Amino acid sequence: MIKQTLFFSTPVSLSLKYNQIVIKLKDIDEVITRPIEDVGVVIIENQMVHITMPLLNALANNNVSVIFCDDKCMPNSMLMSLESNTIQQEIYKIQFNATQPTKKRIWKEIIENKIRNQAALLEKLGLDGNILKPYYMNVLSGDSDNREGAAAKVYWQQMFGKQFVRNRDGCYPNPMLNYGYTVLRAAVARSLLGSGLFPLFGIFHRNRYNAFPLADDVMEPYRPFVDFAVKQIYDFSSDEILDKNVKQVLVRVLFSDVKIKGQMRPLQVALSMTTASLVRAFKDKKESVVFPSFV
């Protein structure tokens, strides 16, 4: 079942009743309810949203990712469940005991798939995707010579021009990319927890201030799906504003169809397939991680 994403950009009161999210609009008597079991991500943007502790606990118990935004309406923090899988302890042991060669092999697969998807996106946009072929065809174990970084420079110049620099604090369209990646990151973290994996222990990302490095690892091949949405907005809108409509377009990336294992699946389903295969890859050195391909 495809999980819903709820987005709150106006003052509302959120509470729990009979395992339903009760949404009460400010100054309006109307009350809306949503079954928690149907929800995958909740984005709380408005600073005047009131939410009860019983609801937060229920959301965590149902493995719902809750994203809290700051006073600039940008994603700032996440609420995640610590117990989302019935055999979590067993899978934790598999993850912790994975050898360094296994992690390097998995990281190589991640980077290959990321650059292949970047190349496919460039082709879809009528740009030169073949320019990235030397990069994804020559990724070493652990990407020891940083093919990812070299490919990124070429990729971003193809996407937004030679003057563009991908930087979290950079100019437009960087804010759109930041927002889309944060929503994607929350969905990836949710799938990791659902598969019994612990997002704190990454394969490549190891920033001491990062609580979800494994999510940052796994989301890499999925980033081009966000890039595609941002590129469409960038090309067809003259406004450089990250407004509600733009955010809704970026959130809808989670519901887009992607090709994985030869079939079209919703991106949320693909994420579950990827994280489940990651468990197997940690356990078996012959098992590859399953990622979507951009078509």
DSSP-assigned letters across all residues of 62-111? TT-EEEEE-TTS-EEEEE--S---TTHHHHHHHHHT--HHHHHHHHHHHH
DSSP-assigned letters across all residues of 100-147? HHHHHHHHHHHHHHHHHHHHHHHHHTTS--GGGHHHHTSPPGGGTT-H
Encode the chain (295 residues) as per-residue pLDDT tens digits: 678 888 888 889 999 999 999 999 877 778 899 999 999 888 898 899 999 999 999 998 888 888 888 887 777 777 877 665 556 678 888 888 888 999 999 999 999 999 999 999 999 999 999 999 999 998 999 889 999 999 999 999 999 998 999 998 888 999 999 999 999 998 898 888 888 888 888 888 665 545 678 999 999 999 999 999 999 999 887 778 888 889 989 999 988 999 999 999 989 889 999 999 999 999 887 789 999 998 7
| 154: region left, alpha or beta (phi > 0 left; psi from -120 to 50 alpha) | alpha
pLDDT at 148: 93
pLDDT at 211: 61
pLDDT at 1: 63
Q: Which domains does the chain have, with CATH numbers?
A: 4-79 (3.100.10.20), 88-283 (1.20.120.920)
Query: Which of 193, 189, 192, 197 has its CA nearest to residue 283?
Result: 197
Q: Within its chain, how far is the Cα of 68 from the centroid?
A: 15
Kindly report whether the peptide bond that precedes residue 173 is cis, defined as omega within 30 degrees of 0: yes
pLDDT at 207: 56
CA distance 230 to 102: 34
